[in-house]
Structure 1
Amino acid sequence: MPKETEVLALFFQSTSTPEKSPQLKYLENLATGKLVHMRDGNITLYKRERSKQWQMRFRLYDKKWHRVSTGYEDLEYAKKKAGDIYDRARFMEELGLPPLNKRFDSAAEATKVELQSDLDNGVGKKIYVDYISVLDNYLIPFFGKKFLTNINHQDIAEYELWRAEKMKRKLMRSTMMTHFSAYNRVFDSAIKRGWLSDKHPVPRLGTKGEKSTPRPAFTRKEIDYLFVFMKTWSEGGKTEEAHNGRLLLRDYIEILMATGMRHGTEAKNIQWKHLEWHTDKSVRYLRIWVSGKTGPRWLIARHEAVPVIERLKQRFTEWDHLTLDQLIEEKHEEYLWRHPNGERPYDFVSSFKWLMKDSGLLLSNNGLKRTLYSFRHTYATFSLVEWNMGIHTLAKQMGTSVQMLERFYSKLTATLAAEKLAG
């Protein structure tokens, strides 16, 4: 250590001040060897608190600071490693490539933060919860320590074998698409942050799985029974919270059956301002604005939805002085699905399972377990069979394609066509 540096070090060791300025801290670290500059100040070596290894930050022609660990506790080794990292980073910069090679787990953790932030702010989709689960349970455990630029087709093949063994079942195509999308989001996030070049070839996960089947629908007899059963069931509940949850679930189900909207993002994020009246040929209809998987759209609710909306209004005493028409006209931003205390339910999945068990309708005649998506399937079935709705109109109402409806309901449409052809 040079003589001047030794003097400075002794000075700082003997000087104690309650609070040191950033400049004083910088000089102290420099004098005591906790801060080391290299390459004309373009590289700085330093140590973090509670870490013995030397970290480095360096600046390239882009004038941005980049940070990485040298992996060494010995200063001389750390200097050599820092020089190698800096030289490679400059070479990569000249080629137009990202200067640092990030590991998969770093990009995956950043992706999780983005997804959770969107969920917390009410702009995330329900599927984001599944993406986070896939990252935590599958993608990070397998790919975590691999560098993004080193992942190749062999890794993908090994991952798919590892996943199949871990899951011990054949994956449905929808499950494989969830894994595919979660994996792609990690690389998209890395590209956005400058950790990976958008020109770098990314090997993709496979998406061919078992063919998806629609959720089991309810028959007309089962729906009629369920709606009668819910009137009594919704009056129960061991606690006030459970009682309010039952009331809200009943309303939620009846709206799903009156609209065919998607359970989850579409239904859950409806606000009072998204309701309005629509009059056509002197008949008034309730129109609802929803936004979800396929973007925003207006849909028309069946008339039986109106009493449900009236029930929702009556739970809030602050609106007692308003008629339903006035409330809809005022375009309030409160969410439709709220308890009397203003809190929103996290979801309806748990209470729905209890309803299905209590009503004896959990399983269909084929032994398939019903979910809240079963009401969307039931709506589509009733629309085609009972309500004589055209398939093009139904596709617009449900925010899907005619091809998708024909794929899932081909037997129904074939039967209807046969009836029309036979007269």
Structure 2
Amino acid sequence: MTNKHTLFGGKLHLYKRENSKLWQCSAYLKGQNRRKSTGEESLSLAKEIAEDWYLGLRGRARDGLLKNEKSFKHAAEQFRREYLVITEGQRAETYVTGMMRKLDNYIIPYFGTRGLSEVTAGLIQEYRIHRQSFSVKRHNQKKEHSGKRPHHNTIHQEIVALRQVLKTAVRHGWLDRLPDLSQPYATNKKVTRRAWFAPDEYKRLYEATRRRIGAATRKNHRWSAEQLHDYVLLMANTGLRPDEIKRLEYRDVEIVEDQDTEEVILLISVRGKRGVGYCKSMPGAIRPFERLQKRNNGAPTELLFPKSHNELLNSILDEEDLKFDREGQRRTAYSLRHTYISMRLSEGADIYQVAKNCRTSVEMIEKYYAAHIANSINAAAVNVRKIKKTRSKEN
């Protein structure tokens, strides 16, 4: 049976999309091609729905009620123009670039030619299904369609970008309301502790990076080993994100005496995914920073770590059998940030102050580091018992 049919002398079309059992209908009226899903697998029922829809369109066109609808691509370009101007300086450049990449690679190619009213909850669900087997070729991929299922957080970020475009359409009056973008059949996701280094594992790591310095025979190899050793210590004593420490310049770091603890620490001006923030280090960050200054004779505008040391770090993690934690999660440079947060919580630090110093939210820490909050709970304040009064018996 053919997957294409015409009605009303070719003015109304019925067709099926690839990998879909439902019949779709389309008609060209008032200078615009209009589409609709019949929601039916049966051809006879689909014809009835399509005919009713087409006659309704003609009636609205005759009464002057049928207006040309903006396409999704038009709304996406308007969103792009607004977003790049309004968020300038408020969002990290990498975040904005990632948002635009999601639009160009996935969202506009799928929704672009459709009218805004066609972007329904059902079509959004079809997009989620479509993305399970589609990915855009990257520079290091040989095949355009890798078939790899994207992580649920990847799809979530794409739906965030889609929502922003639809909100733009609502603001401009091109769409009367947002469709339901929630994921059906969703269950609570398993919450796991993020990969970190327990105190004994962290000690093994920095001792291994120190040994690598002594084993280096060439000058450039020794420099890389020294840089990595100080990188590990700085990350674990500041809680910086890898992208934050990558941008760190010598002028962003100041050695100060903290008034509250009377300890010498680093006061760091951080530039990262959330713009500019501040971080107060642990005292253990002082010596690594001083070694960096002495080793590199860094000018104020030079980077602390001009080269990436991830390859050497991964090599040492493999040698020390530290690449994976007990849950099988892969450890990376980001795990040093998780180590900082976990250790602070384990030692009873205030969760709000930890969140503020790490430029994140209390909710994120409670979600991913809850296992370490046990030591910060005051049992005496929790285990309060009401004293029951006993009635004396009369003899």
TM-score (structure 2 length as normaliser): 0.60
Aligned residue for 1:151? Answer: 119
Q: Which is richer in helix?
A: 1
Instruction: Note the C-alpha offset of 1:384.
Output: 2.1
Could you say if the C-alpha distance between residues 310 and 139 of structure 1 is closer, same or farther in structure 2, counting changes exceeding 3 Å? same
Cα deviation, 1:59-94, whole Å, max 9, x if unaligned, reads: xxxxxxxxxxxxxxxxxxxxxxxx969xxxxxxxxx
Cα deviation for residue 236 of structure 1 reads: 6.8
Q: Distance in 2 between matches of 1:171 and 1:394?
A: 28
* Number of the residue aligned with 2:62: none
Letter of the structure 1 residue corresponding to residue 336 of structure 2: F
Deviation at 1:239, TM superposition (A): 8.7
Give the secondary-structure state (helix, strand or coil) at the position aligned to 1:216.
coil
User: In the alignment, what sits opposite 2:360?
Assistant: 400
CA contact 1:105–1:143 (8 Å) conserved in 2: no
- Indicate the residue corresponding to 2:334 in structure 1: 373
What is the deviation of 1:315?
A: 3.2
Q: Distance in 2 between matches of 1:296 and 1:108?
A: 28
Alignment of 1:280-299 (within 5 A): 280=259, 282-299=262-279
Aligned residue in 1 for 2:323: 362
Partner residue of 2:198? 219
Identify the residue that residue 295 of structure 2 maps to in structure 1.
Answer: 315
Shift of 1:312: 1.8
CA distance in 2, matches of 1:268, 1:362: 22
- Tell me what 1:255 maps to: 234
The Cα of 1:158 is off from its aligned counterpart by 0.9
What code does the residue aligned with 1:261 have? L
- Taking the aligned partners of 1:318 and 1:171, their CA distance within structure 2 comes to 40
User: Once the 2 structures are TM-superposed, how far is the Cα of residue 376 of structure 1 from its aligned partner?
Assistant: 1.8
CA distance in 2, matches of 1:377, 1:144: 40
Show the counterpart of 2:246: 268
Aligned partners of 2:166, 2:329: CA distance in 1, in Å?
37
Of the three residues 333, 344, 360, the one matched with 2:301 is 333
Give the SS at the match of 1:288: strand
- Structure-2 separation of matches of 1:101 and 1:217: 49
Q: Could you say which residue in structure 1 is the equivalent of 2:36?
A: none
Residue 257 (structure 1) shift: 0.3
Aligned in 2, Cα 1:110/1:355: closer, same or farther, shift over 3 Å? farther
How does 1:162-241 map onto structure 2 within 5 Å? 162-166=130-134, 171-172=151-152, 174-184=153-163, 197=173, 201-203=177-179, 205-206=181-182, 210-234=189-213
Alpha-carbon distance, 1:274 to partner: 2.0
2:343 equivalent to 1:382: yes
Mark the runs of 5 or more structure 2 residues left unpaired by the alignment: 1-29, 33-66, 135-146, 384-395
Distance 1:410 1:239, change over 3 A: same
Task: Point out the more displaced range, 251-260 or 235-244.
Answer: 235-244
Q: Percent identity?
A: 24
Compared CA separation, residues 394 and 318, structure 1 to 2 (3 A): closer
Contact map agreement 1:226 1:359 (CA 8 A) in 2: yes
Summarize the Cα distance change of 1:198–1:315 in structure 2 as closer, same or farther, 3 Å threshold.
Answer: farther
Output the CA distance in 1 between the equivalents of 2:193 and 2:356. 19
Aligned-partner Cα distance in 2 for 1:137–1:364: 34
- Residue identity in the other structure for 2:324: L
Distance (whole Å) between structure 2 residues aligned to residue 104 and residue 395 of structure 1: 39
Partner SS for 1:304:
helix
Question: What amino acid does structure 2 have at the position aligned with 1:275?
Answer: V
Matches of 1:408 and 1:360 in 2, distance apart?
24
Provide the secondary structure at the position in 2 that maps to 1:290.
strand
**Structure 2 residue matching 1:315: 3-state secondary structure:** helix
TM-score (norm 1): 0.57
The Cα shift of 1:401 comes to 3.0
What is the number of residues matched between the two proteins?
Answer: 302
Shift of 1:292: 3.5
In the alignment, is the contact (CA less than 8 A) between 2:238 and 2:340 conserved in 1? Answer: yes
Q: 1:236 to 1:389 in 2, by over 3 A?
A: same
